[in-house]
Chains A and B, each alone.
Chain A
């Protein structure tokens, strides 16, 4: 296909179709430009003004070198060839957009002035690098010609520019090196994939282990405070178990003081005081731990009796724990207990009991006077049982 490139062929084309747009002035959208200009030409025709628009390549013709004059000259040549009345708009890649009227009641100079104002208004709104191409100027000319005042308000210009392919906004095609830079190295996606995978693997593993540990009952407490092996419930604090020598020393001290008081007493002491003292003296040097503990109990009870105090009662479970603080009920029996043993019983934990000398069981489980009297905590006549046993 060859574009019309003589005045004769251009006129012939306009006779078939009053709008002729060549690709080189088509703003990259030649068909769209043609159809939109045809619409404007029809609007004008409805007002009784025929119009011809030729946006064409410079034809083989004898044209002046000035772009302004060349446009006007070509327009005149085309009109001469076509011989029709009407509004003529002609532009080439080398000329300005020329306008003229032949035998219609419109003043071409006024239209041209209205065009300059409107194109200027349109340009003011355009960003850097964009412009109104020949197609847009032709649209402006047709619109001005259709306007009663032969001028467009800025709002009308905006509406016109938005209504069709009248602005050239081409932009810069990215150079191949710019695209290469943006794309990066061919292996870069692999770098991304490996880095992401490694981070997810390691951090994911750590998070999953944390989740597993958490599900297993761990808390965010530090390890030293957290880790408590599974096992029996914690034991209530029990008083330290004095060594037998400590107990013996304590008992001897009490006995010596009691002996001095009894011997120095001006009044006769009761059998109970005397019996307690002698029973304790018999037991205090014993090899048996339980008998040494009994000596301590008897010495204390003797001293209490001598002073006429209430009989001192020590912890049933182990007299070395100290004085009774509370009474606890075990198997329907009310027992005096120290604070720690009372707590243990309340918590359903075995209290720290004094054991038999072989250490195999609590003393109170054995068949002995110690068990029968609770080492004097249940029966105040321990001294008598000891004395009878000695006999």
Chain B
């Protein structure tokens, strides 16, 4: 009887260790599957630093002719008033500035900013991108082209973002919530148990021992 209690305690201890190992295995899997991130260059880093410091509008040193300081100040005020967080980066287009394309740059900005919101990257009349990393869908009509006067167009975009709202995040869950996840875990584990016992038996056979272990289930 005491042997049974001791074995139960040990088995529960093993289960706790295995749960931690399961979390580690999942983290490892995520690590392996995650695409290699790109190296953040100084251009993106400066914009991200400005956003982290609380700025809503960042104009690179080469882009003050695109968006002069007084225009940037007006846009900053507009962006600061938006309920949906919005960040605007403005810089001259270049192939040699540390990122491949503006989609890569805006992706880097979102990654480094580590903050949810709508990110606008403007590189001159006709060129730019609006992207968001909000949890829920952005519900609103955001202009998707960047034609016309920079300040006017960026103001229109920021105004449209301010007028939009973040929809409720989808509560759809692949596993069907916590209960579903536990059930799925039990199911997968249940399938794995006979497989593992079979493997143990085959290893025992390979070692020249009997397939069945001594003792029983009780």
Contact = CB atoms under 8 A, between A and B. Distances in A.
Contacts of B200: 203, 207
B11 A176 contact: no
Interface string B182-218: 1011101110110011001000000001101111111
A191 B181 CA distance: 5
A382 to B, nearest CB: 57
Nearest to A194: B185
Interface in A1-51: 1-3, 5, 22-31
Contacts, number: 256
Given A26-B97, A193-B19, A197-B22, A173 B217 contact: no
B62 A28 contact: no
A330 interface: no
Interface string B55-98: 00000111011000000000000000000000000011111111
B22 to A, nearest CB: 3
Given A187-B175, A197-B16, A24 B96 contact: yes
B18 A197 contact: yes
Highest count of chain B CB atoms <10 Å: which of A57, A185, A219 = A57
Contacts of A30: 42
A203 B193 contact: yes
Contacts of B144: none
Contacts of A24: 43, 60, 62, 91-92, 94, 96-97
B137 interface: no
Contact of B133 (A176, A185, A196, A205): A176
B26 A192 contact: yes
A208 B10 contact: yes
Contacts of A195: 22, 184-186, 188-189, 192
A206 B215 CA distance: 8
Nearest to B99: A170
A233 interface: no
Contacts of B212: 220, 222
B10 A204 contact: yes
Contacts of A213: 214-216
Interface of A: 1-3, 5, 22-31, 57, 60, 93, 129, 133-135, 168, 170-176, 178-179, 181-214, 218-222
13 contacts: A23-B42, A27-B98, A172-B35, A182-B35, A187-B175, A188-B174, A189-B22, A193-B22, A194-B22, A195-B22, A195-B185, A195-B192, A199-B192
Give 10 closest A-B pairs by Cβ, nearest first. Answer: A28-B98, A28-B41, A194-B185, A213-B215, A196-B22, A198-B189, A200-B18, A187-B181, A173-B107, A192-B22
